[in-house]
Structure 1
């Protein structure tokens, strides 16, 4: 589990740093071999290599794998906008599967669209790398509960 594509400049380093630290502690991302490939204020991308253990009965990437990536991206996109020491939990998500998951890499991406005091709303995407290009497989939205740390 790695973190690439992390922006280390600017006043928001602490917020981005808490995302990287939380990601390192997460067993499910370690299990999937996920790595942060893009991390910006309000935007997270996580990529993993597709492998046989991700497949459902017909050989496509299982919907649960796609949902897990989308969920993690939304949580971390939200966390990147919160004060250091904050935490997040999923409240609800809706994921529309528009194409079977076929390809060598799987990538989830989320962007915060609305950040309130206690809830964040994110748009989420899942793509597969097929023959050298990224192809959309799922998109949707997630509502995230924000457990804000007290700001100094």
Structure 2
């Protein structure tokens, strides 16, 4: 993070929030970025009935969405705004039940054109305790030269 609040990729938390707001699907889910910079990002969303599957757990597609976006935003803090997910894998560890889903991602390694990132997905219960429910890892690729274009996930 630089003195003016921007990352090595030239982005700020405010710019990351604007990029997320430009994604209609993220708006539908009610996702928000709470941390961004220094090769990391945290994405959160409130858990509600519409995001659950038939057994009352957060749907795996919602967990995958959160991991994908968190991984890509973390990479954007290093690679710059013109990026796309190259691929990712997710392992579901336990059913996700709670009030808030949190996806915390960090860059593990970054080169000029791609970054490898990992993400821990947790849920916060009614008692405020956080429980790890899934982990993900992925590769994010730069579309252009560093710092050019718009953040796309």
Scaled to the shorter chain, the TM-score interval is: 0.7 to 0.9
- The root-mean-square deviation of aligned C-alpha atoms, in Å, is 1.9
CA spacing shift, 1:59–1:11, aligned 2, 3 Å: same
User: CA offsets, 1:88-132, max 9 Å, x none?
Assistant: 111111111111010011111110111112211000111000121
Contact residue 82 and residue 147 of structure 2 kept, 8 A = no
Gaps of 5+ in 2: 149-153
- Secondary structure of 1:114 counterpart: strand
- Secondary structure of 1:15 counterpart: coil
Contact residue 110 and residue 125 of structure 1 kept, 8 A = yes
User: CA offsets, 1:40-98, max 9 Å, x none?
Assistant: 22110011110011111111000100010010001111111134xx3111111111111
Total equivalences in the alignment: 143
CA spacing shift, 1:87–1:151, aligned 2, 3 Å: closer
- Secondary structure of 1:58 counterpart: coil
CA spacing shift, 1:134–1:22, aligned 2, 3 Å: same
CA spacing shift, 1:21–1:62, aligned 2, 3 Å: same
Match of 1:101 in 2: 96
Please give the alpha-carbon distance, in whole angstroms, between the structure 2 residues aligned to 1:89 and 1:73.
Answer: 12
- Secondary structure of 1:80 counterpart: helix
Gaps of 5+ in 1: 1-6
2:120 pairs, out of 105, 122, 125, with 125
TM-score normalised per structure 2: 0.85
